[in-house]
Amino acid sequence: MSPSFASRRAPDRHALASAGRRAAAAALGLLCLTLLGTLGYMAIEGMRFLDALYMTVITLTTVGYREVKPLSDVGLWYTMGLLAVGVGMVFYTVVQAGAFLMEGRLLELWSRRSTMRAIDALHDHVVICGFGRLGRAVAEQLAASGAAFVVIDPDPAAQAECETRGWLVVAGSALDDETLATAGITRARALVAALGSDADNVFIALSAREHNAALRIHARAETSEGVRRLRQAGASQVISPHQLGGVRIANAIVRPGVVEFLELSDVGTAREIDLEEVRLSERSAACGVRLRDLAGRGVRVSVVAIKRGDEALRLQPGPDDELCAGDRVVALGDRENLARLAAMAEPA
């Protein structure tokens, strides 16, 4: 999604820059002609600078005001020549300036419509509310994994960064129902409430749940009270960055080996190993396969959990457990084998 969106925008920005250069060149040419005309009247008719400039301006603009003084024969010929050249230059400058303004307006309109079309085509995407440090980190990880997402933020700087990186963004506040609808909340599979205010995130969670009852809501909380209220508001997962940071530091002190393993499996670091979740389709080649037989099919991963329908998440399933259609399988392994498992989960 991201690269293609970015590439669609690039040619239009180049066109706008080209129109700007043409308009600037035309304006510079008109300025030089005005200066040349002024100096000519000063030299030919002996006018002072202001009178000469006045004569040049009324000649180039063809307004027909009175002359400062009667002109000599040379002055008349000079005026006719200035008029012949100047009218064309003024017309060209006006056209180029208009083209530059229209290019900018058309680019803005086209970009907005292009973004809306791209968002309208999305299904099962993620809506990120807020592009602060947490929202940016979520967007980067989703982009790295190839997941579709839309960012909502009212800050023009945040919008510009998203557009530069080729990410879909909606300008506005996630507290507004219309903005959520524009981001395709009814078709989304998940929402991230990443604003800095617990009250705002609670409101977003309530609004999002009203629009989409099946939506998974991941919310940021600054306080323990915020955690409680977000859960009451229907958030599927509530994360407190301060608490997570404290736990990570404490674990690094008392369980450094565990932390080293977790850092090794983090997306965006060494990427030697990773945790991945895949969902088996109805005609998946993995249906009916026992876990012990995955290696024989070229998929060398450790299945650490299986979520089947409404059943509770089953941790450490046995080697004789069979995979079924609709299972959500959480596996640990290197990226190559996890990719094979994901391909195996697709319809045969």
Are 286 and 233 in a shared domain?
no
- The reported pLDDT for the residue numbered 274 is 73
pTM of full prediction above 0.95: no
Residue 136 falls within a domain, yes or no? yes
Give the chain's residues under pLDDT 50.
1-12, 267-271
- The reported pLDDT for the residue numbered 268 is 47
CATH number at residue 321: 3.30.70.1450
Are 170 and 191 in a shared domain?
yes
Residue 245 falls within a domain, yes or no? no
Are 132 and 33 in a shared domain?
no
Are 164 and 201 in a shared domain?
yes
CATH number at residue 153: 3.40.50.720
- Picking from 91, 119, 147, the residue at the C-terminal end of a domain is 119
Are 220 and 286 in a shared domain?
no
- The reported pLDDT for the residue numbered 260 is 64
CATH number at residue 101: 1.10.287.70
Residue 34 falls within a domain, yes or no? yes
Are 149 and 201 in a shared domain?
yes
- Picking from 215, 239, 263, the residue at the C-terminal end of a domain is 239
Percentage of the residues of the chain whose pLDDT score is greater than 70: 83
- The reported pLDDT for the residue numbered 181 is 93
| C-alpha span between 203 and 182 (Å, rounded) | 17
Residue 254 falls within a domain, yes or no? no
Are 98 and 139 in a shared domain?
no
Range of 195's domain? 123-239
Q: What is the dihedral of CA 202, 208, 213, 215, to 10 degrees?
A: -90
| C-alpha span between 320 and 44 (Å, rounded) | 104
| Amino acid at site 141 | Q
Residue 50 falls within a domain, yes or no? yes
- The reported pLDDT for the residue numbered 18 is 66
Are 9 and 38 in a shared domain?
yes
- Picking from 89, 119, 149, the residue at the C-terminal end of a domain is 119
- The reported pLDDT for the residue numbered 103 is 59
CA nearest to 9, candidates 144, 106, 74, 98: 106
Cβ distance 200 to 175 under 8 Å?
Answer: yes
Are 134 and 147 in a shared domain?
yes
Residue 282 falls within a domain, yes or no? yes
- The reported pLDDT for the residue numbered 173 is 94
Are 224 and 279 in a shared domain?
no
Are 105 and 185 in a shared domain?
no
Residue 221 falls within a domain, yes or no? yes
Pairing of strands 237-239, 216-220: parallel
What is the number of other CB atoms lying within 10 angstroms of the CB of residue 53?
Answer: 18
Are 115 and 176 in a shared domain?
no
Residue 258 falls within a domain, yes or no? no
The 3-class secondary structure across the chain, one letter per residue, is CHHHHHHHHHHHHHHHHHHHHHHHHHHHHHHHHHHHHHHHHHHHHCCCHHHHHHHHHHHHHCCCCCCCCCCCHHHHHHHHHHHHHHHHHHHHHHHHHHHHHHHHHHHHHHHHHHHHHHHHCCCCCEEEECCCHHHHHHHHHHHHHCCCEEEEECCHHHHHHHHHCCCEEEECCCCCHHHHHHCCHHHCCEEEECCCCHHHHHHHHHHHHHHCCCCEEEEECCCHHHHHHHHHCCCCEEECHHHHHHHHHHHHHHCHHHHHHHHHCCCCCCCCCEEEEEECCCCECCCCCEHHHCHHHCCCCEEEEEECCCCCCEECCCCCCECCCCCEEEEEECHHHHHHHHHHHCEC
Domain count within the chain:
3
